[in-house]
Amino acid sequence: MKLATWNVNSLSVRLPQVLDWLAANPVDVLALQELKLTDDKFPHQAFKDAGYESVCFGQKTYNGVALISKTDASDLIKNIPGFDDEMARVITGTVDGIRVVGAYFPNGQEPGTEKFEYKMEWLKGLRAWIKTELVKHPNLVLMGDFNITTDDADVWDPIALEGTIHCTDEERYELAALKALGLIDAYRLFPQAAKSFSWWDYRNAGFRKNQGLRIDYVLVSKALSNQTKACIIDKAPRKNERPSDHAPVVVEI
């Protein structure tokens, strides 16, 4: 079974690329983030024509998440139970016996801002809920745009970016605490090239210079980690015309 996550930075703009990618990479589940559209504008039929079911949790202009899957997703949850949120950031469903959580973590903007405080509260809320969800669903995958680097290996210039957003100790502590619940970074289960990133700034030719960050993850529960076969970042779509700034991450279980 293959699962993938991709922050598409506007599904309206990226839909043809997503359909092309699914045709070339027929994964069983694809979690999308940053749809930037409302539920009524979600292209269910386009995915249906491609052989996929889809469930979405949209929002105008910002955020918005979806699960695209070959078989129906059941027991849907939108956002984080127990954490009040105006934004559409999380969609959860069960596909082929695996509990799949697709998430768009807050950006946080800059330490010391209200948005950073919101990010920290959101992370605590997510962790409290995932803890209970893991008890109910030992076979669980949490994937999406985490907007946090694990350590220096995920950062193109760790010295210049030390302590900046995505690289603060506070964010990294929360990511580590989330993983301590029993979630494993699938990408690091396997040997990977140095300077492997999942996001590159549109500005200053970031992709060409490989000035990026690894902030998109697939975390697998312990029960699934034993049978995880591969995890890659697919840089091909970043070479498209009008690409998303993020690349898909694909895991094979």
Of 174, 34, 205, 31, nearest in space to 111 by CA: 174
Contact between 110 and DNA per CB under 7 A: yes
**Binds DNA by CB under 7 A, chosen from 68, 100, 215, 233:** 215
Q: Binding string to DNA for residues 10 to 29, with x set by CB under 7 A, is what?
A: x-xx----------------
Q: What angle do CA 247, 175, 183 make, to 5 degrees?
A: 85
Contact between 167 and DNA per CB under 7 A: no
Active site residue 104: yes
- Tell me how far, at minimum, the Cβ of 210 lies from DNA, in Å: 14
| Segment holding 146, helix H or strand E | none
Of 125, 104, 108, 114, nearest in space to 32 by CA: 104
**Binds DNA by CB under 7 A, chosen from 39, 85, 201, 252:** 201
Contact between 166 and DNA per CB under 7 A: yes
Active site residue 39: no
| Segment holding 178, helix H or strand E | helix 169-179
Q: Which residues pair with 90 in a beta bridge?
A: 103
In angstroms, rounded to a whole number, what is the distance separating the alpha carbons of residues 213 and 169? 16
Contact between 147 and DNA per CB under 7 A: yes
Of 132, 140, 126, 146, nearest in space to 183 by CA: 140
Contact between 190 and DNA per CB under 7 A: no
From the list 104, 154, 185, 187, the catalytic residue is: 104
Contact between 199 and DNA per CB under 7 A: yes
Interface size with DNA, residues (CB under 7 A) = 29
Please identify which residue in the block is written with the tokens 């090239």.
Answer: 193
From the list 28, 52, 145, 245, the catalytic residue is: 145
Of 185, 249, 187, 192, nearest in space to 222 by CA: 185
Helical residues (DSSP H) of 83-168, grouped into ranges: 114-136
Contact between 238 and DNA per CB under 7 A: no
In angstroms, rounded to a whole number, what is the distance separating the alpha carbons of residues 100 and 105? 15
Contact between 242 and DNA per CB under 7 A: yes
Question: Which amino acid is present at 215?
Answer: I
Contact between 240 and DNA per CB under 7 A: no
Q: Which part of the chain contacts DNA (CB under 7 A), choosing from 72-80, 127-135, 136-144, 200-208? A: 200-208
Contact between 208 and DNA per CB under 7 A: no
Six-digit token pair at 239?
């070479």
Q: Which residues of the shown chain bind DNA in the complex (CB under 7 A)?
A: 7, 9-10, 12-13, 34, 36, 60-62, 106-107, 109-110, 115, 145, 147, 165-166, 199, 201-204, 213, 215, 242, 245-246
Instruction: Report the catalytic residues.
Output: 104, 145
